[in-house]
Amino acid sequence: MPDRRPLLVIVGRQVKQEREAQGMTQTALAERAGMRVARLREIEHGRGNPAFPALDRLVRVGLRIPLSDLIAAAEREASNELPEHAQ
């Protein structure tokens, strides 16, 4: 089974980048998405393994962007991190 840690780190980084681009604090995003700040912090640092409904709510309701946009950005970032021979 492949290690999902790198993907979780990338998704978390994308959440953080979008939050910061929108000028939101972790507290504001957590409140809007209906989750604890500590949980959001775990996700942003790639330590959390959010269930799909929680990630969907965080992105769609909290960040107000389509989940597909976040996934596409994470995929682009992941493909940039692959070794040259793996692309």
Query: What are the start-end ranges of the H helices in 1-87?
Result: 5-21, 26-33, 37-44, 52-57, 67-81
What superfamily would CATH give domain 5-80?
A: lambda repressor-like DNA-binding domains (1.10.260.40)
Burial class (CB in 10 A: 0-12, 13-18, 19+), 52: exposed
Q: What is the pLDDT along the chain (87 residues), one digit of tens a residue?
A: 455 568 889 999 999 999 999 999 999 999 999 999 999 999 999 997 899 999 999 999 999 999 999 999 888 888 886 555 444
* HSE, side-chain direction, 13 A CA sphere, residue 14: 23
| pLDDT for the residue 10 | 92
**Structure tokens given for 56:** 């969907």
Every domain of the chain and the residues it spans: 5-80
| pLDDT for the residue 82 | 54
Q: Which amino acid is at 77?
A: E
| pLDDT for the residue 79 | 83
